[in-house]
Structure 1
Amino acid sequence: MTMFARLFLILSLAVPPGLVEAADPKEISWETLAPPAAVISNPFENLNDDQMNSLRQILRLEARAERSDDAEAHAEAQALRKQMAMDGLDVDGLFAARRAIMEQREAAASAVNEDLVGTSVRLPGYVLPLEFKDRKVVEFLLVPTVGACIHTPPPPANQIVHVVYPQGIEVNGLFTPVWITGAMVAQSSVQKVGYVDGQAPVSVSYLMRPILVEKYGS
């Protein structure tokens, strides 16, 4: 065996198993971009319809009482609180749980899947152009559905990818379907999406500078 052959064999054995395969992009779905859902206690699951309605009334009445110093609204809210206490329910505790659930859901909407960060992936989606150069899109948002951010409200931040692609790709109007291939980066940003009558901010959790953008089905 020659010196070169022995060196090649040594280097080959030194490569960890699966490294070559790991370099191949992993085809993923949009659901994969969201991290596993955290389990959070939801005390509202144990309330009946009347109790839920009482909580809503307390919220409205107390907001009215605070806003306009409405003594009658304050009295009604206190009566409902007393009734719920007789049912063994802690209204303030339930309101605190409500805030915690809302905060958890808001955080979950922007959280990234750490298992994907730095991983080479292939993801399909629709192009929402941000910047053109020589009639090609060189920067865009990849969104999961047609109409997202324009005709419908923006998806959660972790369901949008900010794509920077200097090579550019030709598109046919809005929402051209494509595949993007490259390493996923966790990078929060707010991008401005243009409308006929102005612009609107869109929160994004991911960035990709893809090695390849190709039209879907090509």
Structure 2
Amino acid sequence: MRLCLCLVFLIGMLQPVWAATQVDWQDLIDRKVAEFEDPFTSLSVSELRSLGTVIRLRENLAKPDLATEDRIQIEDRLKRLEAKLAVSGIDVDWLLSQRKTIGRKRAKAAMAGNSNLDGKEIAIPGYVIPVLDADSEMSTSGYLVPERGMCSHMPAPDPNQMIRYTLATEWQADSVYEPVRLTGTLSIRPTKQEITLLDGQIEMIAVFDMTVTRVTPLAEQEPVSTTRSFLDFLKSKSQQQEAPANQ
């Protein structure tokens, strides 16, 4: 009887941990919105560049003050480039007519979060970008991204691939892009904020908001030089901004 009571007690203690759904970044995407026919995804990098060149050449031809000699050269180059794309089975005019439509669909997909996870207790791995509290050297909020260097050395991810978090725990990040697993309640609550990061001021747009109740550091084989004290970095930034005033 005592053994049964102990087991019931232990199960009750472990239940909150089990309740957290382990998710990956792809799980955050709203598949219904993200799945649409995008003709540009089938193009190679070279073909996309050629298509971009076609756009630029056509824009140049539309200039009213274009010299006759330049116009002839541009028209010749444009014809050759369009013929090259046609040989590859690419309908340039049709593709260009789809740009705005596809652009709107991509933007909508990037802002659409998986509603099945809204309000759910989840656990997700990623890299933290801490944000200092106002007038403080503490950080109780920040952003979680899927890859190291995003928003700094790399482009920012789509908004539905970024989580703005608020800590309900005493954990503090030791460095920018520290690998962790965050556990807490996820909500679809789009936010926009400008923060100071390694490359200057960055606009952070996140579809998700998360109240974090547990932070699990993740071991990662990375050179020590790739991490930097978060507070040391922000303090050095502050000193650089104050330097001109002291000169």
Given the two structures, how large is their TM-score scaled by the length of structure 2? 0.62
Matched residue, 2:197 = 195
Query: Are the equivalent residues in 2 in contact too, given 1:190–1:202 (CA < 8 A)?
Result: yes
The answer to whether 1:65 aligns with 2:66 is no
Tell me, yes or no, if the aligned pair for 2:122 and 2:186 is still in contact at 8 Å. yes
2:152 is matched with: 150
Count of aligned residue pairs for this structure pair: 193
Q: Is the helix fraction higher in 1 or 2? A: 2
Determine the C-alpha separation between the residues in 1 that align with 2:154 and 2:41.
Answer: 30
User: What displacement does 1:57 show?
Assistant: 4.9
1:145-198 superposed Cα distances (whole Å, 9 cap, x missing partner):
222212222111111100012544222121222222222111222222213574
- Return the alpha-carbon distance in structure 2 between the equivalents of residues 129 and 28 of structure 1: 21
Q: Are the aligned partners of 1:162 and 1:204 in contact in 2 as well (CA < 8 Å)?
A: yes
Partner residue of 1:30 out of 25, 30, 48: 25
Alignment of 1:96-135 (within 5 A): 96-132=97-133
- Check the 8 A contact 1:129/1:139 in 2, yes or no: yes
- Matching of residues 179-190 of structure 1 within 5 Å: 179-190=181-192
Q: Comparing 191-200 with 150-159, which one deviates more in the overlay?
A: 191-200
| Paired residue type of 2:96 | F
Distance 1:177 1:66, change over 3 A: same
State which drifts further: 199-208 or 173-182.
173-182
SS at match of 1:64: helix
Contact 1:176 1:215 in 2 (8 A): no
- 1:34-84 Cα offsets, whole Å, 9 max, x none, are 2223121528859xx99x94x555422221123454362686599689979
SS in 2 for 1:128: strand
The aligned counterpart of 1:172 is 174
Instruction: Name 1:208's counterpart in structure 2.
Output: 210
Which amino acid is 1:177 matched to?
Answer: P
Shift of 1:208: 1.0
CA deviation string 1:6-39 (max 9, x = no partner): xxxxxxxxxxxxxx89x81101011111222312
Q: Identity of aligned pairs, percent?
A: 23
Q: 1:41 to 1:123 in 2, by over 3 A?
A: closer
Give the 3 Å change call, closer, same or farther, for CA 119–75 of structure 1 in structure 2: same
Q: 1:89 to 1:69 in 2, by over 3 A?
A: farther
Using the size of structure 1 for normalisation, the TM-score is 0.69
Post-superposition shift, 1:130?
A: 0.9
2:133 is the alignment partner of 1:137: no
**Equivalent in the alignment of 1:10:** none
Residue 27 to residue 166, structure 1, CA distance change in 2 (3 Å): closer
CA-based RMSD: 3.8
Q: Which residue is 1:7 aligned to?
A: none
Structure 1 residue 142: deviation in Å?
Answer: 1.0
List alignment gaps of at least 5 residues for structure 2.
1-14, 220-247
Richer in strand (by share): 1
